[in-house]
């Protein structure tokens, strides 16, 4: 390969299953990567925790590891060639720690953790789950950080008193990593960025400050909260380790980082990340769009003193995990990639539709009483048709989200930028383009999340002059264009919607949980 | 039809016997089940054992199916798995070389393009996944023919069409190219399939060192080739690095 020359930007991705550090060059090419998984702790059904101390140790290791690899591969490389470090992180995962010792008071409560379900219902009072929606853009749901903080304050002995005495700090994983990088108990800066703050349910989207009224209703004292800053500015310098002295210059929640890495800088541009689940974000410019279709309103990013850019977000719970289910639970395929081989062995779905509402239907339906169904079965249907229906389920669910986004925002989707593991599935990408009736585009760098954090950090220190320079870095690796006749698409969509209807109302109210 | 080889038939019967029912059988069980003399049965079992198809339990002396059989059954590589593994490396190759990248596998006497990365400029390009290319004139086809005996047989049997004045169509000339390909580990196509287009390809191996596909860079002949009309050395090195990286991801050792 043509070797990269400095200077470089480093990005730390503190993710749900692992922490990674990637070093990028000016063209946005990957120079070095290191990665380490951390333990998933399941104390009870529905509870998911991470050991924040382990995570911080891992972050230090992967930073050292990536820098060592870069030094090995790039002649003359020194850590002084790294001009800034950016942070991206699993969103909403919540931690509280002692500001004097740096000791977490409890394991971090992970975004998937559902222990705050009942608390969220209670917080809705007579208004319901949209009580704070106008201010925060979010429904009361167990993902978000505010209720998790409340749970910790209620359940860790003596924590509320310590918090009120000013000894405790709250943060999502960006805050934890930045505080530690910049010195921890010895002068670490306690900050978060607007995208992470927009997932706490404590920030007012309109003025990007903590909403005192909501914090009070939620029972979270204001003095534990970090300072809200932009996504791209220098928060401080790394205090110790291989990157000592390097500016810490960006923070973005993982999905927002992917939006940034995909250079969706214009209103109406959208990205969809296909992993275990799927997250789609659409840039809505300076407009805060209230969703009437069950989407979330969130901050996309904010560069320094510039105006914030907002986004609509829709997520699909089961996409890649449905393929895993076909492999692990059904045994119909040996590897995830084989789903394409099996699905390609037939021309169509044979009349079968698979609605993977394993834990209910999410956006735009929000029906917790729904469960998975396979409909349209006849003796003609083979496992290959089911495989095809599995891939189509991901494509149809994306269509439902884009329809909702168009309805809420009035902006038609021009093209969808995709990333994530499932983009290696050619049949899925073609199907997606067919069902959306829009081009589907895959960029050349698969690591859009880390790249987004690196881009934001690079902008903050002047490594890249502006977003136009980042756009120029973006390269199309593949593009799928619609081939399906409109009548066929409409007919199939109707059948899909019928199948979705069949999935609803399965769980009776009394045993719904 | 020629007469079948008796000892192979007997070996096959033994494998079926060990695969069913009790799974672990002693020598006398095997011999009596198949109506063979103990000495004959032992000779066949010993041969199967040496090939890894049968294992003998050290304590009981009984025979069971060997791990090699399982490996044989699993050695088939799904082409979509190949694409998933190749994705990162081929993106980087396209980016580093500034040219289009293709991954091809043998399919019906030709090369099936199962992965395609666009040339990293802003030009309109069409995804060529699913397209077929000829075996005898393309860099991908030459690599597959040089390393995969099945591809070789097919390339030799098909009519080798002259697409351009530079296409090599005679048998001896073609074999010479394959010898050269094996000797240097890569193949080129300089305007032998399409006027103005040159490409360079290298083989992808799996963990059993079997050729499972090939990766190629293709572009305008002026960019791909140097002044001497040969592909540029740096480009060749990039393609071979990429092929090695994908092979390593598939479990092949360093080479």
The CA distances from residue A151 to A106, A116, A148, B192, in Å, are 11, 7, 5, 70
Q: A286 and A308 in contact (C-beta within 8 Å)?
A: yes
For A126-141, write each residue's pLDDT tens digit.
888 889 999 999 988 8
In this predicted model, what pLDDT tens digit does every residue of A416-458 receive, in sequence order?
999 988 999 999 999 999 999 999 999 987 789 999 999 999 9
Q: What is the DSSP letter of A265?
A: -
Confidence grade of residue B192 (pLDDT, cut at 50, 70, 90): very high
Q: Is B234 on the interface with A (CB under 8 A)?
A: yes
Half-sphere exposure of A492 (CA within 13 A, CB side): 26
* Higher pLDDT among residues A386 and B121, named by residue: A386
Cα separation of B23 and B20, whole Å? Answer: 6
What's the rounded mean pLDDT across residues A152-170? Answer: 95
Q: How confident is the model at residue B253 (pLDDT cuts 50, 70, 90)?
A: low
User: Model ipTM?
Assistant: 0.79
Sheet of A416-419, strand order: A296-301, A309-316, A278-283, A270-274, A416-419, A440-443, A476-480
Read off the pLDDT of each residue in B125-135 and give the average, rounded to a whole number.
93
- Look at A444 and B79 and tell me if their CB atoms are within 8 Å: no
Mean pLDDT, to the nearest integer, of A390-407? 95
Query: Is residue A508 very low, low, confident or very high in pLDDT (cuts 50, 70, 90)?
Result: confident
Torsion of CA B32, B37, B42, B45, to 10 degrees: -60
**Pick from A426, A444, A480: which is nearest to B95 by CB?**
A444
> What are the DSSP calls for A473-504, one per residue?
H--EEEEE---S-HHHHHHHHHHHHHHHHHHT
Q: Prior bond to A7 cis, omega within 30?
A: yes
Q: Do B126 and B94 form a contact (C-beta atoms < 8 A)?
A: no
Residue (of A65, A50, A84, A66) closest to A181 by Cα position: A84
Instruction: Determine the pLDDT at residue B109.
Output: 87
Helix axes B38-50, B27-34, angle to 10 degrees: 110
Contacts of B115 in chain A (CB under 8 A): 426
**Is the peptide bond preceding residue A223 cis, with omega within 30 degrees of 0?**
no
Instruction: State yes or no: pLDDT of A309 exceeds 60.
Output: yes
Smallest CA–CA distance, residue B150 to chain A, in Å, is 22
Helix %, strand %, coil % of chain A (to 5): 35, 25, 40
Check if the beta carbon of residue A254 is closer than 8 Å to that of residue A324.
no
Q: What phi, psi does A310 have (nearest 5°)?
A: -100, 170
Which of B78, B80, B91 shows the shortest C-beta gap to A477?
A: B91
Banded pLDDT at A509 (limits 50, 70, 90)? low
Picking from A22, A16, A20, the residue whose alpha carbon sits closest to that of residue A4 is: A22
Q: What is the mean pLDDT of residues A244-256?
A: 96
Q: What is the pLDDT of residue B255?
A: 45
What span, in angstroms and rounded, lies between the C-alpha atoms of B156 and B152? 6
How high is the pLDDT of residue A1? 43
pLDDT digits (tens, 9 = 90+) for B52-101: 888 888 888 889 888 777 666 655 678 888 998 899 899 989 988 999 99
Tell me, yes or no, if A3 comes closer than 8 A to chain B by beta carbon: no
Instruction: Indicate whether A212 pLDDT > 60.
Output: yes
pLDDT at B23 over 90: no
CA distances, A363 to each of A35, A294, A450 (Å): 32, 5, 26
Q: Which of A142, A94, A144 is nearest to A121 (CA)?
A: A142
Residue ranges of E strands in A131-231: 168-172, 191-193, 203-204, 209-210, 227-229
Task: Give percent above pLDDT 70 in chain B.
Answer: 94
Cα–Cα distance measured from residue A483 to residue A431, given in angstroms and rounded to the nearest whole number: 9
Whether the per-residue pLDDT at A513 is higher than 50: the answer is no
Could you read off the pLDDT of B211-252 as tens digits, one per residue?
899 999 999 999 999 888 899 999 999 999 999 999 988 876
Burial B153-175 (b: 16+ CB within 10 A, else e): ebbeeeebeebeeebbeeeeebb
pLDDT of residue A3: 56
Phi, psi of A23 (to 5 degrees): -105, 130
For residue A478, which residues of chain B lie inside 8 Å, CB to CB? 116-118, 127
* 0.90 surpassed by pTM: no
Read off the DSSP letter of residue B169.
Answer: -
Taking an 8 Å cut-off on Cβ atoms, the answer to whether B118 and A29 are in contact is no
- The residue that leads in pLDDT, A55 or B158, is A55
CB A198 within 8 A of CB A298: yes
Reported as a single tens digit per residue, the pLDDT across A101-111 is 999 999 999 99
Q: Residue B103: left if φ>0, alpha if ψ -120 to 50, beta else—which one? A: beta
Please, what is the Cα angle at A13 between A7 and A16, to 5 degrees?
A: 170
Is A206 near chain B, with CB under 8 Å?
Answer: no
Cα–Cα dist B217/B104, whole Å:
11
Q: Alpha-carbon distance A212 to A222, whole Å?
A: 7
Cα separation, A33 vs A66, whole angstroms: 5
Average the pLDDT over A18-45 and give the result. Answer: 89
The chain A residue lying nearest B118, using CA atoms, is A477
Query: What's the confidence (pLDDT) of residue B179?
Result: 95
Give the A window 439-458 contacts with B, CB below 8 Å. Answer: 444-446
How many Cβ atoms sit within 10 Å of the Cβ of residue A510?
6
Best residue of A27, A475, A480, A482 to probe chain B, by most B CBs closer than 10 Å:
A475
Contact assessment for residue A109 and residue A94, using Cβ atoms and an 8 Å cutoff = yes
Residues of chain B positioned with their CB less than 8 A from the CB of A261: none
Q: How far apart are CA B55 and CA B45, in angstroms?
A: 9
């Amino acid at each position: 390969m043509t070797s990269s020359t400095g200077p470089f930007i480093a990005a730390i991705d503190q993710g749900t299953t692992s922490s990674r550090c990637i070093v990028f060059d000016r063209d946005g090419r990957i120079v070095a990567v290191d990665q380490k998984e951390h333990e998933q702790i399941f104390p009870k059904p529905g509870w998911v925790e991470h050991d924040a101390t382990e995570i911080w140790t891992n972050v230090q290791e992967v930073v050292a590891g990536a820098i060592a690899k870069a030094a090995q591969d790039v002649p003359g490389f020194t850590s002084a060639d790294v001009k800034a470090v950016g942070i991206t992180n699993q969103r909403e995962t919540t931690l509280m720690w002692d500001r004097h010792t740096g000791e977490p008071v409890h394991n971090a409560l992970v975004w998937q953790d559902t222990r705050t379900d009942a608390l969220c219902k209670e917080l809705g009072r007579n208004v319901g789950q949209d009580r704070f929606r106008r201010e925060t853009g979010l429904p009361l749901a167990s993902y978000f950080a505010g209720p998790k903080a409340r749970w910790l304050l209620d359940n860790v002995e003596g924590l509320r008193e310590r918090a009120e005495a000013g000894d405790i700090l709250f943060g999502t994983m960006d805050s934890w990593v930045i505080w530690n990088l910049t010195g921890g108990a010895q002068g670490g800066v306690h900050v978060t960025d607007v995208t992470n703050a927009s997932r706490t349910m404590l920030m007012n989207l309109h003025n990007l400050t903590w909403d005192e009224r909501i914090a009070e209703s939620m029972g979270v004292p204001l003095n534990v909260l970090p300072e809200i800053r932009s996504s791209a500015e220098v928060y401080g310098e790394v205090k110790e380790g291989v990157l000592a002295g390097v500016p810490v210059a960006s923070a973005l929640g993982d999905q927002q980082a992917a939006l940034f890495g995909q250079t969706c800088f214009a209103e109406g541009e959208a990205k969809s990340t296909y992993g275990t689940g799927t997250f789609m974000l659409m840039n809505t410019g300076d407009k805060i769009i209230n969703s009437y279709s069950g989407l979330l309103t969130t901050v996309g990013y904010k560069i320094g003193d510039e105006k914030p850019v907002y986004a609509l977000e829709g997520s699909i719970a089961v996409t890649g995990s449905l393929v895993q289910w076909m492999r692990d639970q059904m045994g119909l395929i040996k590897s995830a990639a084989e789903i394409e081989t099996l699905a390609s062995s037939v021309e169509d779905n044979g009349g079968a539709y698979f609605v993977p509402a394993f834990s209910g239907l999410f956006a735009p339906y929000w029906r917790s009483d729904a469960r998975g169904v396979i409909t349209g079965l006849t003796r003609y249907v083979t496992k290959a048709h089911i495989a095809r229906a599995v891939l189509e389920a991901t494509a149809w669910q994306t269509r439902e989200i884009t329809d909702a986004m168009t309805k809420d925002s009035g902006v038609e989707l021009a093209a969808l930028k995709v990333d994530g593991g499932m983009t290696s599935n050619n049949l899925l990408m073609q199907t997606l383009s067919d069902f959306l009736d829009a081009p589907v585009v895959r960029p050349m760098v698969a690591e859009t999340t880390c790249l987004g954090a690196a881009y934001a950090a690079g902008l903050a220190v002047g490594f890249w002059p502006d977003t136009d320079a980042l756009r120029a870095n973006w390269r199309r690796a593949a593009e799928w264009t619609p081939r399906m006749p409109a009548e066929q698409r409409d007919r199939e969509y109707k059948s899909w919607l019928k199948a979705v209807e069949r999935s609803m109302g399965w769980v009776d109210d009394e045993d719904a949980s | 039809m020629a007469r079948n080889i008796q000892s192979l038939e007997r070996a096959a019967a033994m494998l079926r016997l060990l695969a069913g029912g009790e799974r672990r059988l002693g020598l006398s069980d095997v011999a009596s089940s198949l109506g063979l003399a103990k000495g004959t049965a032992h000779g066949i079992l010993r041969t199967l054992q040496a090939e890894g198809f049968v294992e003998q339990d050290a304590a009981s002396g009984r025979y069971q199916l060997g791990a090699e059989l399982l490996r044989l059954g699993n050695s088939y590589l799904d082409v979509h798995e190949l694409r998933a593994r190749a994705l990162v490396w081929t993106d980087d190759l396209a980016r580093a070389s500034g040219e289009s990248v293709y991954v091809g596998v043998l399919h019906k006497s030709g090369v099936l393009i199962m992965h395609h990365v666009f040339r990293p400029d802003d030009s309109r390009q069409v995804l060529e996944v699913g397209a077929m290319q000829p075996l005898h004139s393309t860099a991908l086809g030459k690599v597959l023919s040089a390393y995969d005996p099945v591809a070789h047989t097919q390339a030799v049997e098909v009519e080798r069409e002259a697409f351009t004045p530079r296409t090599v169509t005679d048998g001896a000339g073609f074999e010479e190219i394959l010898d050269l390909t094996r000797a240097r580990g890569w193949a080129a196509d300089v305007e032998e399939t399409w006027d103005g287009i040159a490409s360079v390809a290298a083989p992808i191996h799996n963990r059993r060192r079997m050729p499972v596909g090939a990766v190629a860079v293709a572009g305008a002949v002026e960019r791909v080739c140097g002044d001497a009309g040969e592909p540029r050395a740096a480009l060749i090195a990039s393609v071979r690095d990429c092929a090695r990286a994908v092979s390593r991801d598939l479990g092949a050792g360093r080479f």
